[in-house]
Amino acid sequence: MSMLDRKQGKPIFRQIAETLQQDIQQHYQSGDCLPSEQELADRFSVNRHTLRRGIDELVMLGLVERVHGKGVFVLDTPVDYAIGKHNRFTENLEALGKTSDSRLLRKLEIKAKGNVAKLLQIAEGDAVLWLETLRKVDGKPFCLISHYLPLARLGDSIKDYQDGSLHAFFKHMGLAPVRLGSTVSASLPLDEDGLLLSMPRHLPVLRIKTVNVDAKTKLPIEYSLARFRADRAQISINLE
């Protein structure tokens, strides 16, 4: 039984929410189911109405969700992903104490078309290196990124990229990538994206289109299209 302080001014349901929040942080993982309402009501010696108000607090905080007929389940805490001129994936996550890794899924030389050619400021038909990478955070799929790299501008050495931070590889080549701009939208995942991100088709992805230029030449060196699991990513925009 968990003891509640019925003499202090704080409402009982809020004390229940705070206790359960501590339990979740210390003992539960994403996808775990909390005990039944009756078990929790007995634990706190309250009626189920009061218990439900406490659960409502956790739902509003985004810590749990109710699944009709099944129970209350713990949600993933969204990862704060910052967008700024110099913010980079690996550095962002290390600052949050998260582990990350990047896996190269595809590497193909293709011809630039449409928006790819326009945003990279090259002619249609020019050679582009297309990379597809899967990023994981704490071992779980987090985002897929399609990278389009102008070969004539970067040279053949970019073809040596295998894994890890692409922007660290740029710096190794003597380039200084700077984010020129990004656009954010939402859509349902494509079949393959849903499989690689281990997510159901009815949940949305956040799509972020980005152009990076070299700080010295001011010419585009990368156009990327990232697809983030919307339930695992929280986008912060820093305009400085």
Give the range among 56-60, 94-98, 223-227 with minimum mean pLDDT.
94-98
Residue 56 has pLDDT above 80, yes or no: yes
Residue 122 has pLDDT above 80, yes or no: yes
What's the pLDDT score for residue 150?
98
Q: Hey, how many other C-beta atoms are within 10 angstroms of the C-beta on 2?
A: 12
The residue to which tokens 């990862």 are assigned = 79
What's the pLDDT score for residue 238?
72
Q: How much is the mean pLDDT over the chain?
A: 88
Q: Which residue has the higher pLDDT, 16 or 233?
A: 16
